[in-house]
Amino acid sequence: MGLEKSKCKRCGINYIQKRKSQKYCSKRCNTISAKKAFMLRLRGEPKWTNRPSILKFCPICSKEFRVYAHEFVQTCSKKCGYELMKQRITKTASTYRRNALLVYNKKCYDCGYEEHPEIIMIHHIDGDRTNGAIDNLIPLCPNCHAIRHEQQKRKLA
């Protein structure tokens, strides 16, 4: 195994490489270089100037930030990322279920079943799952929910 002489990328000292992938003369130079690259990324500056980067605007705070062309980053920080995630979650099925159960009691609208409220389902009156308006939602037990869907099928047939 032939050891090669190389020059440290941080301090410029000549050293003998222990392995081919080694770029720095010591752990200290490696750590300092990694910290410097990390701080550059925090400030939004690209780590390597020859890599293509894109200027984006954060959808939460409208702050301008820079990312590498191959990265799929939507926000300027983790805080804004969590906020964006919260905004997207509020439009999911669990939200309309939660809202409907807050408005109505946790019992079946048709038969009044309330022994096990965890099995209560939310039925869309118009059949459109994307319509989460409260006046379009009613809580039903699984039996009444199935009956409602059968009735809708018969109306269509």
Structural domain count, the chain: 3
Task: Looking at the structure, tell me whether residues 107 and 135 fall in a common domain.
Answer: yes
Supply the DSSP string of 96-108, one letter for each residue: HHHHHHHHS-SS-
Owning domain of residue 98:
92-156
pLDDT digit string (tens) for 89-140? 555 556 788 878 878 888 999 999 989 988 999 999 988 888 888 888 999 9
pLDDT of residue 45: 62
Q: How many CA atoms lie within 13 A of 24 on its CB side?
A: 11
pLDDT of residue 92: 56
143 pLDDT exceeds 60? yes
Residue 122: inside a domain: yes
Task: Looking at the structure, tell me whether residues 118 and 72 fall in a common domain.
Answer: no
Task: Looking at the structure, tell me whether residues 124 and 81 fall in a common domain.
Answer: no
Return the closest-CA partner of residue 118 out of 108, 132, 128, 130: 108
Task: Looking at the structure, tell me whether residues 72 and 116 fall in a common domain.
Answer: no
Residues 6+ away with beta carbon under 8 Å from 33: 9, 10, 24
pLDDT band at 61; cut points 50, 70, 90: very high
Return the closest-CA partner of residue 15 out of 23, 5, 27: 5
pTM: predicted TM-score of the whole model, two decimal places: 0.42
Task: Looking at the structure, tell me whether residues 65 and 109 fall in a common domain.
Answer: no
